[in-house]
Structure 1
Amino acid sequence: MLRRILFFAALSTITLGSQAKVRLPHIIGDNMILQQDSEARLWGWDTPGKTVKVNVSWSKESYSAKTDSKGKWIVGVKTPKASYTPLSITFNDGDRTTISNVLSGEVWVCAGQSNMEMPVKGFGNCPVEGYNKAVMNANEYKGIHYVKIPSVMSTKPLDDAQCDWKVIGPQTVGDASATGYFFAQAINKTLGIPVGLVMANKGGTRVESWLDRDYLEKNTTEPLDSMEMVKKFPGDYLRPLLWGNGTFSPILKYTVKGIIFYQGCSNVGDPASQYTKRLNDLVSQWRRDFKLGEIPFYFVQIAPYFNSDVNGDWGPKLREQQFNASKIIPNSGIVCIDDLVYPYESQQIHPSQKQQVGERLALQALNKTYGMKNIWCNSPEYKDMKISNDTCYVNLTNDYGAISRYEDIQGFEVAGADKVFHKANASYYWTKGLIITCPEVKTPVAVRYAFRNWGYGNVKNAALLPLFPFRTDNW
């Protein structure tokens, strides 16, 4: 009896295969956003050796591809400039498949861990500020669509994921990435064009979770055998390789404009420069695999967090590694969010102020990708320091001609040769910069700013963007 069942199952498979209809990956479907003014890739599967024709509503030009021995096919279609005009695409292998309500606009990937994954409606006990307002105003933002790639693990790279595109509205906005959605709001409103978000992320993941097998084998000691992974990382979110294979690989053929990234909490404690190098290498890997050139990469420096000791420095040391990465990753930008944590959120790994995070990422994109140079997008940075007697004079860059305050400047510490830091007094004068003194340190050697796990300061520039944490020592 079992032999007969297997025979009919095999016969059924053969019959279905001979009548196979063009199959598309789930990311190609109704409501999708195509990258405007590009040669957007469309792909899928069909019977080996079959010709698939592709026709688009915005052009008389037709495209075709022949499937390979594994039934795979791919074509590149010229997309129109961004518009709110609904488009359609028909795939024909003798049997037609049409997708509709397609828009042409700007497509951005939302990558990283839980602070990127965190939806507009928040997580349990982790609210997002402005949720109700986002729901009430959702209909004002026409043309923002998103697709959430399911967070799954795989030992091998996957080429499809169970997902579908959603149109932003009161019923759907709550499930969108908050950081991603508020980024899209700013781009959509400023440029007046549709924005598509491809959300490929997973809470708790490390940078190693997204690096590929070849890289991990050559450059790390990460366990890549399944049993060894489970033994070392009982929490699956920390495991290397698997999330990139299962959650990011399915989007790599999709044509996108760039990537926004919010990750790092799970790498706190990494040795000096390790995270800097691996993040740089991850960006190189993604750019290689997207095959779209040096696409922009904008990312978020993690927020202050108690990390089990408010006075420890392992949090700011990871932020320092992120800052250093921004200096070596081409076509990138980093945003500081030191000011976007409320005093009562010292033990909240998911701060609630996500709108400002998304908007600061959008400032980077609007200035650097879309050429709006009149937008001030950068936080101030430490430039240099001069010490005279008991006083340190610190100069900044990217202040846009001003800092936000003359009084009650907080966040600075000074140490002498004993390497013990004490809270310092700080003031500002436009010809001298920041003037820092400390009664306990008569012969200062080093200055730190906001360089504790929970130790943010309050200095901002003329754009009201916060000063990056820094230290002048390397202790």
Structure 2
Amino acid sequence: MTTKQFFVSLAALVLPLMGQAKVRLPHLVSDGMVLQQQSEARLWGWDQPGKTVRVSVSWSSDVYTVRTARDGKWQVKVKTPRAGYTPLSVTFDDGEKTTINGLLSGEVWVCAGQSNMEFPVRGFGNCPLKDYNEVVSTASDVRGIHFVKIPSVMRTKPQDDADCQWKTVDVNTVEDCSAVGYFFARKVSSVANVPVGLILANKGGSRVESWLDADNLKKYTQEELDSGKMVKKFPYDYLRPLLWGNGTFHPILNYTVKGILYYQGCSNVGAPGNEYSDRLKLLVEQWRRDFGEGEIPFYFVQIAPYIYGDGADGISGALLREQQERAASIIPNSALVCTNDLVYPWERNQIHPCQKQPVGERLAFLALNRNYGFKSIKCESPVYKSMFVEGDTCYVSIDKTYGGISRYDDIEGFEVAGADKIFHRAVAGHFWVAGQDRRNETIFVTSPEVKQPKYVRYCFRNFELGNLKNCANLPLMPFRTDKDE
């Protein structure tokens, strides 16, 4: 090779590198993004090692300076303004400027889990959304709701970027948004008058183990992490551990968020003992650690009635719901919404029930009450408190009723059993207790087939629809009194 040929070859190598010297941003940091309001929001990217990057913002005169590390990575925190609908911009300057536009300051929530969270407004095949046309045709009436869908991909190593794009909700885009996420955002935005950003990082069919990182899987589970053995054990890729967290969730962990919404559990039906609740707690601790924002809210959804492998009258799904209630009790700053009333009788074999609006709105009621100061919004379902037996009748005390229940007669979903633990359908109704604390209500439960009742269950089967609600029209959580016997 001549000297001239050498320098020509060298230039061919160097010039592309020089062209890459400009700041490179992750897809998530881009036009239309929503910044968490009144926070120190993280922005990050890549550049040449040792390069100085200056970050200026349209809402203040502040300029932030950061120097890239040896691997070319950089990260900076910027102070964000109060929520508002005025478009904002951020400029990154390393000698050549890059500007992102159309930003809003608002509230950022992650929509995580499996297919009932992934379920878009357009629905899935043979799984429509209730009132689809009404939802779509009114979407342009809302303002300031932006969303970004993280592609559902598997990776053996944690990923720092994902090919995604922020979208603004309108009549043409809303069908791509998570239905549960959209209804949550619509309610929060309208009541709190703030823009809402949704980061959709989920995968249909995924297990809780799909999102745990390698360290947690190795320390707390017996999950197989060798790729070949994993594929052999789980022919269906959506059941595989680790990979979805690496590919679909890890790219968002630098983002500054308000909280996490989670709808998952169907693929963990059948898990033994307290395995599911313990692992869900572990996952929440992992995510909170990685987001670095403390104990951010974690609001999640109870799996809906469905005929699992042990049939409509089986209890494998009921046991998972019970684990979800346990998880809510052991995970700080968390809450569970009940969906027992949001399935139609003809959806017995439908894993994706069509009523998604109440699910998203119940999550929003939690956020509005607990995080945005709207204490008049009631957000908790009634729960079992205690029971006593007199003769052939059980008297069940219900807590968190907000002063009353939805019906006095024709209450459905209760069963009773004697010492043999064979449960029979029961008649239930309101029972007045003189001097009773109005925060509680008492229900009488009786069955002509059980002369000496000992145990009560409510909707504790895979597919059992109840109709008892509190004054906020929120359904009674399924329960059983024979758990520890």
Q: Which bin holds the TM-score, normalised by the shorter protein?
A: over 0.9
1:310-356 alpha-carbon deviations (Å, 9 max, x no partner): 01000010000001100111111110010000110000000000001
Q: CA deviation at 1:254?
A: 0.2
Equivalent residue number for residue 41 of structure 1: 42
Equivalent residue number for residue 238 of structure 2: 237
> Structure 2 residue aligned with 1:414, among 410, 413, 416?
416
Equivalent residue number for residue 108 of structure 2: 107
Whether 1:345 aligns to 2:347 is: yes
Q: CA deviation at 1:429?
A: 2.0
Q: Partners of 2:31 and 2:12 in 1: how far apart?
A: 30
Q: Secondary structure, in 3 states, of the residue corresponding to 2:465?
A: coil
Q: Could you say if the C-alpha distance between residues 22 and 388 of structure 1 is closer, same or farther in structure 2, counting changes exceeding 3 Å?
A: same
Aligned pairs for 1:359-374 within 5 A:
359-374=361-376
Q: Partners of 2:13 and 2:304 in 1: how far apart?
A: 53
Equivalent residue number for residue 51 of structure 1: 52
Q: CA deviation at 1:388?
A: 1.5
Q: Could you say if the C-alpha distance between residues 127 and 18 of structure 1 is closer, same or farther in structure 2, counting changes exceeding 3 Å?
A: same
Q: CA deviation at 1:17?
A: 2.3
Equivalent residue number for residue 257 of structure 2: 256
Q: Could you say if the C-alpha distance between residues 232 and 299 of structure 1 is closer, same or farther in structure 2, counting changes exceeding 3 Å?
A: same
Equivalent residue number for residue 376 of structure 1: 378
Give the unaligned 5+ runs of structure 1: none
Equivalent residue number for residue 466 of structure 2: 457
Whether 1:174 aligns to 2:175 is: yes
Equivalent residue number for residue 433 of structure 1: 442
Q: Partners of 1:145 and 1:439 in 2: how far apart?
A: 56
1:398-457 alpha-carbon deviations (Å, 9 max, x no partner): 100110001111111111111111111111123271001111111111100001111121
Give the unaligned 5+ runs of structure 2: 434-440
1:80-102 alpha-carbon deviations (Å, 9 max, x no partner): 00000000000000000000010
Asked if the contact 1:18/1:47 (under 8 Å) is kept, the reply is no
Amino acid in the other structure paired with 2:470:
N
Q: CA deviation at 1:39?
A: 0.3
Whether 1:195 aligns to 2:196 is: yes
Aligned length: 472
Equivalent residue number for residue 405 of structure 2: 403
Equivalent residue number for residue 392 of structure 2: 390
Amino acid in the other structure paired with 2:456:
V
Asked if the contact 1:154/1:245 (under 8 Å) is kept, the reply is yes
Q: CA deviation at 1:189?
A: 0.3
Q: Partners of 2:327 and 2:284 in 1: how far apart?
A: 10
Whether 1:120 aligns to 2:118 is: no
Equivalent residue number for residue 292 of structure 1: 293
Q: Could you say if the C-alpha distance between residues 387 and 12 of structure 1 is closer, same or farther in structure 2, counting changes exceeding 3 Å?
A: farther
Q: CA deviation at 1:11?
A: 5.8
Q: CA deviation at 1:178?
A: 0.2
Q: CA deviation at 1:206?
A: 0.2
Q: Could you say if the C-alpha distance between residues 69 and 397 of structure 1 is closer, same or farther in structure 2, counting changes exceeding 3 Å?
A: same
What TM-score comes out, normalization by structure 1 length? 0.97
1:272-310 alpha-carbon deviations (Å, 9 max, x no partner): 111010001100000000001110000000000011300
Amino acid in the other structure paired with 2:331:
I
Amino acid in the other structure paired with 2:479:
F
Q: Secondary structure, in 3 states, of the residue corresponding to 2:135?
A: helix
Q: Could you say if the C-alpha distance between residues 411 and 11 of structure 1 is closer, same or farther in structure 2, counting changes exceeding 3 Å?
A: farther
1:19-38 alpha-carbon deviations (Å, 9 max, x no partner): 41100000000011000000
> Structure 1 residue aligned with 2:455, among 429, 437, 446?
446
Q: Partners of 2:10 and 2:338 in 1: how far apart?
A: 58
Supply the RMSD in Å over aligned alpha carbons: 1.6
Q: Could you say if the C-alpha distance between residues 381 and 59 of structure 1 is closer, same or farther in structure 2, counting changes exceeding 3 Å?
A: same
Q: Could you say if the C-alpha distance between residues 64 and 447 of structure 1 is closer, same or farther in structure 2, counting changes exceeding 3 Å?
A: same
1:371-397 alpha-carbon deviations (Å, 9 max, x no partner): 211110000000011112211110011
Equivalent residue number for residue 437 of structure 2: none
Amino acid in the other structure paired with 1:17:
L
Asked if the contact 1:298/1:361 (under 8 Å) is kept, the reply is yes
Amino acid in the other structure paired with 1:355:
Q
1:135-158 alpha-carbon deviations (Å, 9 max, x no partner): 111111110000000000011110
Q: Which moved more, 1:462-471 or 1:131-140?
A: 131-140
Equivalent residue number for residue 470 of structure 1: 479
Q: Secondary structure, in 3 states, of the residue corresponding to 2:134?
A: helix
Amino acid in the other structure paired with 2:386:
D
Amino acid in the other structure paired with 1:46:
D
1:214-256 alpha-carbon deviations (Å, 9 max, x no partner): 0100111111000011000000000000000000000000000
Q: CA deviation at 1:9?
A: 8.6
> Structure 2 residue aligned with 1:332, among 312, 331, 334?
334
Q: Partners of 1:348 and 1:430 in 2: how far apart?
A: 38
Q: Partners of 1:147 and 1:223 in 2: how far apart?
A: 31
Equivalent residue number for residue 14 of structure 2: 14
Q: Using the aligned pairs only, state the percent identity.
A: 63
Equivalent residue number for residue 225 of structure 1: 226
Q: Partners of 2:242 and 2:14 in 1: how far apart?
A: 35
Q: CA deviation at 1:8?
A: 8.4
Asked if the contact 1:17/1:47 (under 8 Å) is kept, the reply is no
Asked if the contact 1:403/1:461 (under 8 Å) is kept, the reply is yes
Q: Partners of 2:257 and 2:98 in 1: how far apart?
A: 23
Q: Partners of 2:420 and 2:363 in 1: how far apart?
A: 40
Equivalent residue number for residue 206 of structure 1: 207
Q: Partners of 1:191 and 1:96 in 2: how far apart?
A: 35
Equivalent residue number for residue 144 of structure 2: 143
Q: CA deviation at 1:16?
A: 2.3
> Structure 1 residue aligned with 2:312, among 306, 310, 313?
310
Q: Secondary structure, in 3 states, of the residue corresponding to 1:327?
A: helix
